[in-house]
Structure 1
Amino acid sequence: MKRILVTGANGQLGSELLVLSQSYPNYEWIFADRTKITLDDLELLESQLKIIEPNIILNCGAYTAVDKAESERGLAFKINHLAVKLIAEYSSKNNVRLIHISTDYVFDGKSSVALNEEAKTNPINIYGESKLAGDIACLTENPNSIIIRTSWVYSKFGNNFVKTMQRLMQEREQINVVDDQIGSPTYAADLAQAVMSIVEFPKWIPGIFNYSNEGEISWYEFALTIKEFGDYKCNVIGIPSSSYPTSAKRPNFSLLNKAKIKTVYNLKVPNYKDSLKKIFVF
């Protein structure tokens, strides 16, 4: 029986993979939180991998505190770059299949068309720089690995935009949401299913792939859809990013083109509204 190691087990994607794992009893699953896999201690990480001896690694663990990364550059790079490099080296030496999760923040947001896998990378914050360094190290150390770049991830687990909006719309009469950052949300349960479809696919085809739900929207439009589905009475006001300053810059446009993953792995990608509805069904 093949052993699947999931890093970042307590994150949104890791939590959705835990739910989904019940449908894949043909694998031995190891869900590793920070106590089982230590991404910020490289020597310990290497020994942990040798003990676990996975056949497949789904690397969902990452440093994701985008604003905090501006003042914690070393830690962000250790987890998002050096740990990924080590995992890729280990997987290459031991013939382990590796799927590594990355981000739309590797782009600068200056495009006006959906970004494909060949689009030029140019991160505008430390988090994006650290993730891009990890992507490069992953493919350098193990050209047989798969990188999935995703965006605006949400789930019923963890902290995310959808849950924040649900809370604020019930607490407040009015909220402001930026309306000049364009992209598409990703329901983590959909991404988890896409990952397992790749794992189960008859042929392993390495490289970079994009995945998010279908739709081109702003955060403001996303908030309006959340308001609609939750039947909230809160007034939602669209504002420019300049009116909501953050430590780290965000790309203004990071819509991902999913044509490659749909073609190569024969995946169907749901529209963001169809997936968002699932959060409101309890």
Structure 2
Amino acid sequence: MGSFNLTLEGFLLVGFSDWPQLELILLICISIFYSLTLCGNITIIVLTQQDLQLHTPMYFFLAHLSFLDLCFTSSTVPQLLISLSRGDQTISYAGCMAQFFIALLLGGTECVLLVVMAFDRYVAVCRPLHYASIMHPLLCHALAISSWVGGLVNSLIQTSLIMSIPLCGHHLNHFFCEMLVLLKLACEDTGGTETNLFVAGAIILVCPVAIILGTYAHIAHAVLKIKSRVGHRKALGTCGSHLTVVFLFYGSAMYTYLQPVHMYFGSEGKFAALFYTIITPMLNPLIYTLRNKNVKGALYKVLGKGKEETNRRKMVE
């Protein structure tokens, strides 16, 4: 069966139906995690818009990261929840390719955005006196747009490569349309396409990691020159959260995508995908909130205003 027939008939997402005893547990856990992801990332976005102290480049990029995590999770998890609750596991070929394109777009954009955030931390630590002039709002918006352009280019390239492959079969051993699972359905030898996809994946994953590590090497060198412990703590506070997010995101992404197709196993891949589609986006707001006094302060202000407003209404009534 070729790709033409699949365009009409679509795919069956196996999801976790091969572990029926886990489906109810997964439904409950994923529902909770998804709700926490929505609440956490929406809270970060609202706080960065409402609190004037958070109107800085660092929190501008943090809001973009939260928006990306929100969209990335929402591009895959709702369909998984429907599959676990109702058993509807079908997806059309067009829907599958759209989901694949959107997931790559958001993931690639986050890859570039994390580099931008590393540059912001470099300027803050290594060029503190020139931070305001360097990280001008125009530059911040240009860097944010560049992240989206980089993600779009990567997604267009990889999606076009996948769509050029004739596919045979209907069963995708995953809960969303993921690259390595689609490659396993290829009707012909995909050696050349796999190489091109691997190179594209290496560029969008390995190159940013190398830049980030190089940036933090300069930051570490600058921090070692700081004599005061307060300065050390401040530098670690501003950089520690970002580094934690970098390791979580790139670690899971490189484990998944930088491996040959023949070494990819659907069972392991599905559980690894749960980590980078649900766990990491859920943890990111917690990482930045728990380690950041400004974000916690803004949250307390908002909660305090909410309590005051509630008390006023009760008094009026």
Give the TM interval when normalised to the shorter protein. Answer: under 0.3
Q: Which structure has greater strand proportion?
A: 1
Q: Which has the higher contact order (CA 8 A, sep 6+)?
A: 2
Look at both structures and tell me which one has the larger radius of gyration over its CA atoms: 2
Structure with bigger helix share is 2
Normalising by structure 2, report the TM-score.
0.25
